[in-house]
Chain A
Amino acid sequence: MLRAPAMDLKVSHAMEVKIKAKVIDQEGLKRTISRLALEIIERNHGVADIAIVGVRTRGAFIAERLVRRIHELEKKQVPFGILDITLYRDDFRKRLRQPLVQVTDIPFEINDIDVILVDDVLFTGRTSRAALDALMDFGRPASIQLAVLVDRGHRELPIHADYIGKSIPTSIGEEVQVRLQESDGEDCVLLVEAPKEVQ
């Protein structure tokens, strides 16, 4: 049985994407992270019993920035972990090839603490669902709160974020691209036209 070769993610990124708008710029991103950090501190009455876990890849970078900002504000080091949700995704049978799984690194007990789960974009809610499942396999946190940089709508599951950097209403033909220094060489959030094959 022959079939078309699996789509290579790198190739699709390299394709010309039509940028419609720069929604957040470098400075804006910095301010948004600061606000999110403050909201987290405020809502949890400090940072005594919280931990921050970022979803690979960009969620982890945002989470790391939040941890740094909180340290600046509160002079306290919040436990920080990275979650790889590849194995919890619900589209396993639909994919042609397996993505590379990476190690999950949560070097602390999550039982009975408040975990702030951090991701870059909240869209259908499926990634967050997978992240919740993955997290639950590590123990029983007192609560899980969800922090996202961008909420672009179009939920397919009953999931909402507790902390939202920016709500960006999008049409289905659009996509939100979060670009971070750590992974993309720049800090900004772009509204782009979705490449056809992704739809």
Chain B
Amino acid sequence: MPLQQKHLLGLEGVSAADIGLMLDTATTFREILERPIPKVPTLRGLTVVNLFYEPSTRTRISFELAEKRLSADSVNFTTSASSVKKGETLKDTIRNIEAMKIDMVVVRHQAAGVPHFLTQCVQAAIINAGDGMHEHPTQALLDMFTLRERFGRLDGLRVAIIGDISHSRVAGSNIRGLMTMGAEVMLCGPKTLMPRDVEKFGVQVTCDVEDAIAWADVLNVLRIQLERQEAGLFPTMREYHAEFGITRQRLERAKKEITIMHPGPINRGIELDADVADADYSVILDQVTNGVAVRMAVLYLLGGNEESVS
């Protein structure tokens, strides 16, 4: 079965078959990355623009590498929201870029729904590289790929996502993807950082990190932003670490091996202790490597769609 999507806007509504296909395809690309020449000519002649309205070196580099390893031509458009305010509208920007014969757009924006909006503006295939507090599908795919590689399955796996769930698109996509693939999901964080009605996703919710650790096979630890403290959503980083920080002591108390994930960049000593981040049960660097393979798979599967060919 070919992929049933023209765009990758999020994982909401994406079938288990499609997620499975993306992960399977990523397995192939993971092998390519191990080759002496980690590059294939597949997307020669295809042009991808990386439209980043938010600074994100990691995700952009990961996409850029994925594009280059598939021999696509890639162009970066990086800008900050403030400079955009003075200039042209998003619609004008994207239509101008499309006029230069672009086949695919990878977009990162601070506002939810921007990838949806772009599909209404242009013909090119749109890949969401993170929109506001909504979704970040390739991050969730690489997280699932990493878990599948480690556990051989996703079905029945217990994944606890720890931290600022409210503002996390990583959580948004992971919840959807994992639930679709049959995993169990628990969310853990301060009540002030838990989105309203989130249990309607079918997830469990707790405010006790020890409970989450006792329950989980995997902890996906989210980055906590200083601006949430400034917004008064939790009192201090010190208290956050004390209440929600993942420490070796807390993990040892669970008396079982727990896999640690983090989408990066890590605040060492705040949400995650350094010795945990670097432990052999941490797959954080695998996530980074797998990110390139997963993004290659997504580009490959969406790139062959003739509708995207100008």
Contact = CB atoms under 8 A, between A and B. Distances in A.
Interface of A: 1, 3, 6, 84, 86-89, 92-93, 95-98, 100-104, 133-134, 136-139
Interface stretch (B31-39, B108-116, B137-145, B273-281): B31-39
Chain A interface main SS type? loop
Given A101-B25, A133-B41, A96 B3 contact: no
Given A87-B32, A92-B304, A137 B45 contact: no
Contacts of A103: 27-28, 31
B35 A100 contact: no
A116 to B, nearest CB: 20
B45 A93 contact: yes
A138 B304 contact: no
Nearest to B70: A87
Given A87-B41, A104-B28, 14 more contacts: A87-B70, A92-B43, A92-B46, A96-B304, A96-B305, A97-B3, A98-B303, A101-B25, A101-B300, A103-B31, A133-B41, A134-B40, A138-B35, A138-B36
B306 A96 contact: yes
Interface of B: 2-3, 21, 24-25, 27-29, 31-32, 35-37, 39-46, 70, 123, 300-301, 303-307, 309
Given A6-B2, A139-B36, A104 B41 contact: no
Contact of B40 (A88, A100, A139): A88
**Listed residue (B2, B21, B307) with the most chain A CB atoms within 10 angstroms of its CB:** B2
B31 A104 contact: yes
A139 B3 CA distance: 33
Nearest to B45: A93
Contact of B305 (A86, A97, A133, A138): A97
Contacts of A98: 2-3, 300-301, 303-304
Contact of A102 (B2, B28, B43, B307): B28
A86 B21 CA distance: 15
A88 B37 CA distance: 13
Contacts of B44: 92
A136 B300 CA distance: 21
Contacts of B24: 100
Contacts of A100: 21, 24-25
A15 B169 CA distance: 47
A88 B32 CA distance: 12
Contact of B304 (A1, A88, A97, A136): A97
A74 B184 CA distance: 55
B306 A3 contact: yes
Contacts of B39: 137
A100 B24 CA distance: 9
